[in-house]
Chain A
Amino acid sequence: MYAQFFGNYLLSKHVVTPEQLIQAIEEQHIRHIKLGLLAIHAGLMTVEQVDKVLIRQAHENKRFGELAIEEQFLTEEQLAGLLKQQIPVYLLIGERLVENGFLSETQLEELITSYKQENHFKHLANADEQQENLQALTRSLFMITTLHIPEYLIKYLTLLFNNLVRFIGDDFLPLNPTLASEHVANHCSGQIINGEFSLTAYLDMEEDAAIAFASRFTGTEYKEFNEYVDASIGDFLNWQNGLFNVNISNEESVELILNPVVNLQNIMLSSSSDMILLPIAYPFGTITFVFKL
């Protein structure tokens, strides 16, 4: 779970640059992942067994799966399971980074292992624990900034990541947040939340990303930018903010007020205090959340 944060983990370890990571995200659907890597991560084969099959494959004109069965490393059923399983996003991204020469295969293996260990992936017994883990991952995103991040923003973002999975797709990676006093927005919607605390959230993206975002959000294939594409940005933000409002009210008895969503195009967002910019990379492009606290 939350393999989405693996990309950010790579950034925090300074093993890849944001540009290399974005390239990998955009390319993740290009090529199929190597079966050996999948078998290792499913716990079905060891690194040594995969190596052995790969060496044989170099001499014999046979498929990886065929040889793995011959060697009795995999059963027919296990192979079939591997071939139809959904591939975790960190493997897709990782494999692209290896293919592009930014990481070695061994480095990738080590990074995946340490990422899993550091985030206690194996011990997440129930949904509550998973949400706590997601909150911790969200907090870790902001370790690079000097800004004090209020607890409500962590809750907001934890819900946001869940909603991205729910309404857009789980193939995203949050990039490093930055602080800025200005941001030039393309196709953008904003909504003010006030009450016990105030938060203005914007969602901004370029035209092509907006078309793909709206297609996923509505389940309708849009070919060009139109009023429905435009409204999708605002509606996603409104759903997110509405659900946040309900959660905060239920959990903490805090009643907040939502204001109508405002659609903005080609506008400069600015603030006297720093705004938080959180870019989220999808294969179709990067969408950026901007927060004024």
Chain B
Amino acid sequence: MRAEDVTILIGDNSVLARKQLKDAIVPFGISRILDAADGQEAVELYKEHVPDIVFLSLLMPEKDGATTISEIMEINPNADIIVVSSMGTQSQIKQTFQLGAKEFIQKPFHSQQITDILRSRLEGSV
């Protein structure tokens, strides 16, 4: 995947968390970044744009993270969903993987974690 062709969707109800994720993404030269402040908006944006990578919080109003993941997976069973959430108990992590998420990052995250994920995607090594 080439950075200039990549579209990323960020779903998080915190405008600050969305900004911090964007700050970690922009240096890769990725400019198509969509953001959603709740689960419903995330599903609608996913359906419309079918982004390559989705960063998703589990704690969102309107539609919770688990439902959001399920609905995105229905749209595209190969969706690349990375959960970035404050909820990180073993059972919550297990559930997100069962629903189809590819990675789990516990908040507070380090930008390096995001960088590592993007590097692996852009080089196509995953």
Contacts and interface: CB of A to CB of B under 8 A. Distances in A.
Interface in B83-112: 85-91, 106-108
Interface in A154-192: 167
Interface string A209-247: 000000000100000000110011011001101110110
Contact of A261 (B59, B85, B89): B59
Interface-centre pick from A232, A245, A260 (highest chain B CB count, 10 A): A260
Contacts of A245: 86-89
B16 interface: yes
Nearest to A241: B86
A255 interface: yes
A197 to B, nearest CB: 15
Given A238-B59, A242-B107, A261-B59, A249 B89 contact: yes
A57 B34 CA distance: 67
Tell me the interface secondary structure of chain B in the complex.
loop
A246 B106 CA distance: 10
Contacts of A246: 88-89, 106
A82 interface: no
Contacts of B17: 231, 235
A258 B107 contact: no
Interface residues of A, number: 22
A121 to B, nearest CB: 30
B75 interface: no
A107 interface: no
B15 interface: yes
B61 A228 contact: no
B47 interface: no
A260 B15 contact: no
Contacts of B106: 242, 246
A228 to B, nearest CB: 5
B56 interface: no
Nearest to B16: A231
B41 to A, nearest CB: 13
Contact of B59 (A228, A232, A249, A260): A260
Nearest to A236: B108
Interface string B50-82: 000000000111000000000000000000000
Q: Which 3 A-B pairs have the closest CB atoms?
A: A242-B86, A231-B16, A249-B89
9 contacts: A227-B16, A228-B19, A238-B107, A239-B108, A242-B107, A246-B89, A249-B90, A255-B91, A258-B87
Interface of A: 167, 218, 227-228, 231-232, 234-235, 238-239, 241-243, 245-246, 249-250, 255, 258-261
